[in-house]
Amino acid sequence: MEGIPKIPLADWVESAIDWTSTNFAPITKAISRFAETGINGLVVGMEWLPPWLLIAFFALIAWRLAGVKLALGTALGLLFLWNLGLWDSTLQTLALVLFSTLVAVAVGLPLGILAALSETFYRVITPILDFMQTMPAFVYLIPAIPFFGLGPVSAMVSTVIFAVPPAIRLTCLGIRQVPKDLIEAADAYGSTWSQKLFKLQLPLATPTIMAGVNQTIMLSLSMVVIAAMIGAGGLGGDVWKAIQRLKPGMGFEAGLGVVILAMILDRITQKIGRSQAKRQSGGQ
């Protein structure tokens, strides 16, 4: 490759980011404020409650959604984290994950619906999603900083970007999987496109969409840990500190915290998806 000058791709990307970060400052500021308020509100709210009450509350949710066994596991796992002194970190991570997931689903669901209904949009978004999912997760951290600065908002934004593809993909897949003859039946009786969507396609796609939400939560959790490098705090922050100070014990504790949180979130969302699917097959 001698004699041929290097394509200045890196320079282009940087000037593009510079340009957008200066020109779209009002927008990024608004996003910043919105996300900061949301995340801080969640954290403050949860920290305000005594840990035992919050643990009981989570166990209750797990019981209502997924049964006694999971409620017990949830209570034990969270009590354990409280005992290790990881309570505040756990809440920070949880808040970030929940908020990121909320945003990812709010963005992913409509895009997924659009991709299912419009062939053109599907063709456009598929390679973009492929790109987003194969790009190393760390790379998303860098541009987030010029836009939103160090801290949880940057972490949230890069987390959303990393975690949104499965929400879009599985929403689209769920809708496309609705059998042709059912669509034909809805058409034959004169349904509008929105009647078809809300009365037929979305209800039938719910189990698949829930699988997407589950994946989004799991990806959010893994990204929130990585995002500790740009100041996300929480359990990831503890892991990051342990790495810097070469303290394997501390790292293990915080890592275990992530595992427990992941298991609780995973089981609960899986159960929701499965009970949806069960209801549709007539309880058989």
Closer to another protein by CB, 21 or 276: give it: 276
Cβ pair 148, 28 in contact under 8 A: yes
Nearer to another protein, 18 or 184 (CB): 184
Calculate the alpha carbon distances from 149 to 8, 21, 40, 135 in Å.
26, 11, 16, 22
What is the smallest separation between the CB atom of 193 and another protein, expressed in angstroms?
10
Between 4 and 188, CB nearer to another protein: 188
For tokens 């836009």, the residue is 147
Q: Please state, in angstroms and rounded to a whole number, the distance separating the CA atoms of residues 233 and 241.
A: 10
Q: How far is the CB of 106 from another protein (least distance, A)?
A: 24
Q: How far apart are CA 153 and CA 241, in angstroms?
A: 20
Binding segment (CB under 8 A) for another protein, from list 139-147, 232-240, 254-262, 273-281? 273-281
For residues 93-112, which are near another protein according to CB under 8 A?
Answer: none
Residues 6+ apart with CB under 8 A from 12: none
Of 5 and 282, CB closest to another protein: 282
Residue the block writes with tokens 């097959």:
281
State which residue, 44 or 182, has the beta carbon closest to another protein: 182
Give yes or no for residue 275 binding another protein (CB under 8 A).
no
For 247, other C-beta atoms within 10 Å of its C-beta total 14
Residue 24 to residue 39: CA distance in whole angstroms: 22
Residues 179-238 that bind another protein (CB under 8 A): 179, 181-182, 184-192, 195, 199-200, 203-204
**Closer to another protein by Cβ: residue 29 or 279:** 279
Q: Is residue 177 a contact residue for another protein (CB under 8 A)? A: no
| Least distance in angstroms from the C-beta of 184 to another protein | 6
Spatial contact of 170 and 218, defined as CB atoms under 8 Å apart:
no
Position 118 contacts another protein (CB under 8 A): no
Minimum CB separation from another protein for residue 113, in Å? 17
CA 72, CA 282: separation in Å to the nearest integer?
Answer: 29
- Identify the CA nearest to 103 among candidates 42, 56, 161: 161
Please answer whether residues 153 and 31 qualify as being in contact, where contact means their C-beta atoms are separated by less than 8 angstroms: yes
Is residue 21 close enough to count as binding another protein by CB under 8 A?
Answer: no
Q: How far is the CB of 273 from another protein (least distance, A)?
A: 14
Say how many residues touch another protein, by CB under 8 A. 23
**Would you tell me which residues interact with another protein (CB under 8 A)?**
179, 181-182, 184-192, 195, 199-200, 203-204, 279-284
